Structure 1
Amino acid sequence: MPLMVTDYTWTQTENSVYIHVPLKGTKPGKVDILCTDDYLKVHFPPFLFEAFLSGPIDDDKSTAKIGDGVAVFTLQKKEERLWENLVIDYDKETLRKIRESALQKAQEKLVAEAKAKATKTQEERKYALVTMMKLEEEERARIQKMKDDECEKATAEMEEWKLKQTQMAEKKAKLKMQSQRFVADKERTLEKILASSSSDGSKHDPKNCGKSVSKNKPVLAPRLIGNIQIKFTPRIFPTALRESRVPEEEEWLQKQAKARSALNADLVELKNLKEEERNPDWLKDKGDRLFATGNYLSAINAYSLAIKINREIPALYSNRAACHLKLRNLHKAVEDSSQALDLLTPPVTGNAGARARAHVRRGTAFCELELYTEGLQDYQAALKIDPQNETLQADTHKIRQIIQGGGPCNSEL
C-alpha cells in the first residue's frame, strides 16, 4: 500500500487553484503525474498524492513545475468561482470509476499526442525531402550551366580554329599563285631573250638557256656562295608564337617556380626536424594532447606539420577542423571536414565513427555560419550512421526547429 501524502497546501483564486505537494527527497525524474478535468494524482514511490477535485479544470491549460523538493501545480478552473474544499469525498465505487475514467482519458490523450507527433515527424521528413530535392535541382542546374558554358567555349574555339585554317589555306593559295606568276614571267623573259638573239643571227643551243646568248654581250660572274646565320628566340613551349598566349604561359611558369620553391622549403624544414617529429602519428598524438589542454593554435600547427608529411590521413583534417571550430575559423573548419570525408571512402564499418564526427563538425560550422539547411543535412548523415545517439537526435531536432522558425516549448501536462 502506498503512503498517502497529507501535508500538502493549496490556495485559490476565482480562476486558478495552486497546490504545493512536498516530494520528500524524491528526484524529479521519478515523479509520475496524472491529471484530468476532475482528478489529480502524483505518485513518487512509496508516496501517493490523490485529489478528487471539487470542480472541473482545464487540464490542457494547467501546468506543473517540479524543483527544490516540491511539485507546484497551477490548475485553471473552467468556472469562475471559489471552491469550499479542494477535494470531495466519494464512496469507494465512485472513486474507482473516477480513477478508471481518468486513466482512460490519459490513454486517449497519449494516443492523440502520438498521432500528432507522427504527423509532425512526417511533415518534417517531407520538408527535408523537398529541401534536398530543391538543392539537387539547383546543383543539376549549376552543372548543366557549366556544361553549356563549356560547350559554347568549345564551339567558339572550334570556329576560331576553322577561321585560322581558312586563312592559312587562302594564304597558301595566294603564295602558289604568286609562284606560278613568277615562273610564267621568267619563261616569258627567256622567250624574249631568245627572240632578240635570233634577230641578231646568233646561234643558240636550247640547252644553254639562261647563259650567254650572244658573243657580243658580257657574261656575268656567278654569285658568291655563303651561309646565313639565323638565331631564333628560345621558346619553352612548343607552340608557334602567333598561336601562343604569352601572358598565360608566363603566369604558369611563375606558379611552377613558386611551387618548386615551396616544395624545397618544405623539404628543408622536414630535414631539420627530429626523428620523432617526422612521424605523423606522433604529431597527431601531440596535437590531441594540446587540444585537450585548450592550446588550439599549437594543436593546429602539429596537425598541419603532420599533413605536410602525409596528406592521406583523414583524422588529421578532422581534428584540425575541431580546433578551427574552437577558434571560430568556420570556413576552415568546413574545408578540413570536407577533406576528411573525401578521404574516408569507401564508407565501411571501420570508419563509421570518424565519418560521423566529420559530419557533425562540418554541420556545426554550417550552423554557426547560419547555413542551417546544410547543417541539417550533415547532422542527418551523422544520425544515419549512429541512429541511437540521443545527443545527435536532440541537436537535429533543434536545427529543424530553427529552420521552421519554432522556439523551445514549455513543458505542459
Structure 2
Amino acid sequence: MPLLVSDYNWQQTKTAVFISVPLRGVCVRDADVFCTENYLKVNFSPFLFEVFLYAPIDDENSKAKIGNDTIVFTLYKKEAAMWETLSVSGVDKEMMQRIREKSILQAQKRAKEATEAKATARREDQKYALNVMMKIEEEERKKIEDMKEKERIKATKELEDWKECQRKAEEQKRIQREEKFCEQGKKIEEERNKLKHKSLTKISASRNLATKGRNSENIFLEKLKEDSIPAPRSIGSIKINFTPRVFPTALRESQVAEEEEWLHKQAEARRALNTDIPELFDLKEEEKNPEWLKDKGNKLFATENYLAAINAYNLAIRLNNKIPLLYLNRAACHLKLKNLHKAIEDSSKAYRIMKLPLRLIHPTKLYKMMLRRFGK
C-alpha cells in the first residue's frame, strides 16, 4: 500500500498556485509526475500524492521543481480568480476514478496529437529537404548540360576551322600545281617556237639543207620526247607474307568474337587431351626441344639472369628428366642464388641419373666441386 502524503503546503495568487510536497529522498530519476488541467499526481515509492484541483489549470505551462527532499509545483490558472480550496470537496471514489480516467484519456490524446504533430513536422522537413535537394540536383544537371553544350559548340567550331584550313591548304596546293604545269607548258612552247624559228631560218638559207634541217628537228623532237617520258621499270619480284590463319576465309570484324571463342575452345580441348604438360601447347616448336632450352639457360646463366635460367632448365627437365646436365646447371643457378639445399638436391638427382658408384663420387663431393667451379 502506498503512503498518501497529506502534510503539504500551498499558496495562491489570482493567476498561480504554489504547492510544496515534502518527499524524503525524492529525485528526478525516480519521481513520476502526472498533471492535467484538473488532476495532479506524484508517485515516488512508497509515497503517493494526488489532488483533484478546484479549477482547471494550464498544464502545458505549469512547472515542477524537484530537490532537497521536496517537490515544488507552480500551477498557472486558466481563469484569474482566488480558489476557496486546493481540491474539490465532496468527491467520492467513483468520481475520483472518472476524473483519473478522463485525465489519462486527455493525456493520451494530447500525447497522440503531439506525436502526430512531430510526425507531420518531420514529414514536412523531409519534403522540404527533398525539394531542396531536387532543386540543387536540377541546377547541377542544368549546369553540366550547359557546360557540355559549350564544349560541343567549341569542338564543332574547332573542327570547322580545321576543315576550312585543310580546304584552303588543298586549294593552295592545287593552284601551285596548276601554276607549275603552266610554267612547264610555257617552257615547252618556247622551246618549240625556237626550234621552229631555227628550222625556218635554215630552210630560207639553203634549200639543200632543208632535208637535213628537218631531220635534225625530228631528232631533237624525238630526244625531247625521250627526255619527257620516263624509262620503263626494271623487272622484279615482290614477296608478300600473309598473316597465318586457322580459318580459310578472310578476316571479318563481325566474326572476330566467334573465331576467338572457337580458338579458345580448341586450345582447351588440346590441353584436356594432354594432362601431363598442358601448357606446352602454347610453346613454339623450338621451345619444346630440351637441348634448345639447355642452351637458352646457359646463355641466361652467362648474363647472370639466374632466375630466368632456372625457368628454362625447369621446362627442359619437364620435357626430359633423364639428362643429368640439366640438373647440374640448375644446381649451379641455385648455388649462385645461395639456395644451398636446392643445389644439393639437384646434384643428388644428377648423381642418381648418372648411376655412378658411391666410391667414385659422392653428392657432397659433387657439390663441393660445383662450389669451387661456380662460386665461393
Which TM-score applies when normalising by structure 1?
0.47
Contact 1:190–1:209, Cα closer than 8 Å, also in 2: no
The 5-angstrom pairing of residues 2-401 of structure 1 reads: 2-66=2-66, 70-89=70-89, 90-201=91-202, 202=213, 203-204=216-217, 205=219, 206-209=221-224
In structure 1, what is the Cα distance between the partners aligned to 2:148 and 2:78? Answer: 68
Contact 1:37–1:59, Cα closer than 8 Å, also in 2: yes
Q: Percent identity?
A: 43
* SS of the residue 2:61 aligns to: strand
Alpha-carbon distance, 1:7 to partner: 4.2
The code of the aligned residue for 1:8 comes to: Y
In structure 2, what is the Cα distance between the partners aligned to 1:158 and 1:183? Answer: 37
* SS of the residue 2:37 aligns to: coil
Alpha-carbon distance, 1:68 to partner: 5.8
Cα gap change, 1:167/1:21 in structure 2, threshold over 3 Å: closer, same or farther? Answer: farther
Cα gap change, 1:147/1:38 in structure 2, threshold over 3 Å: closer, same or farther? Answer: same
* SS of the residue 2:87 aligns to: coil
The code of the aligned residue for 1:173 comes to: R
5+ residue gaps, structure 1, are 211-413
1:321-362 superposed Cα distances (whole Å, 9 cap, x missing partner): xxxxxxxxxxxxxxxxxxxxxxxxxxxxxxxxxxxxxxxxxx
In structure 1, what is the Cα distance between the partners aligned to 2:31 and 2:167? Answer: 92
Contact 2:18–2:72, Cα closer than 8 Å, also in 1: yes
In structure 2, what is the Cα distance between the partners aligned to 1:26 and 1:140? Answer: 61
* SS of the residue 1:58 aligns to: coil
Cα gap change, 1:144/1:190 in structure 2, threshold over 3 Å: closer, same or farther? Answer: same
The code of the aligned residue for 1:163 comes to: E
Alpha-carbon distance, 1:74 to partner: 2.1
Alpha-carbon distance, 1:21 to partner: 3.3
Cα gap change, 1:173/1:61 in structure 2, threshold over 3 Å: closer, same or farther? Answer: same
1:20-42 superposed Cα distances (whole Å, 9 cap, x missing partner): 33453343233322212211112
In structure 1, what is the Cα distance between the partners aligned to 2:52 and 2:8? Answer: 14
5+ residue gaps, structure 2, are 203-212, 226-376
In structure 2, what is the Cα distance between the partners aligned to 1:63 and 1:19? Answer: 11
In structure 2, what is the Cα distance between the partners aligned to 1:32 and 1:65? Answer: 13
1:274-311 superposed Cα distances (whole Å, 9 cap, x missing partner): xxxxxxxxxxxxxxxxxxxxxxxxxxxxxxxxxxxxxx
Alpha-carbon distance, 1:77 to partner: 0.9
Contact 2:23–2:69, Cα closer than 8 Å, also in 1: yes
Cα gap change, 1:175/1:72 in structure 2, threshold over 3 Å: closer, same or farther? Answer: farther
Computed over aligned residues only, the root mean square deviation of the Cα atoms, in angstroms, reads 2.4
In structure 2, what is the Cα distance between the partners aligned to 1:69 and 1:123? Answer: 44
In structure 2, what is the Cα distance between the partners aligned to 1:55 and 1:86? Answer: 8
* SS of the residue 1:74 aligns to: strand
In structure 2, what is the Cα distance between the partners aligned to 1:171 and 1:86? Answer: 113
In structure 1, what is the Cα distance between the partners aligned to 2:179 and 2:192? Answer: 20
1:256-286 superposed Cα distances (whole Å, 9 cap, x missing partner): xxxxxxxxxxxxxxxxxxxxxxxxxxxxxxx
Contact 1:57–1:76, Cα closer than 8 Å, also in 2: yes
Alpha-carbon distance, 1:144 to partner: 0.9
1:373-395 superposed Cα distances (whole Å, 9 cap, x missing partner): xxxxxxxxxxxxxxxxxxxxxxx
1:23-62 superposed Cα distances (whole Å, 9 cap, x missing partner): 5334323332221221111222222221111222122332
Contact 2:26–2:70, Cα closer than 8 Å, also in 1: no
Contact 2:15–2:81, Cα closer than 8 Å, also in 1: yes
In structure 1, what is the Cα distance between the partners aligned to 2:50 and 2:180? Answer: 120
Alpha-carbon distance, 1:186 to partner: 1.1
Task: Give the paired residue count.
Answer: 211
Which TM-score applies when normalising by structure 2?
0.51
In structure 2, what is the Cα distance between the partners aligned to 1:156 and 1:179? Answer: 34
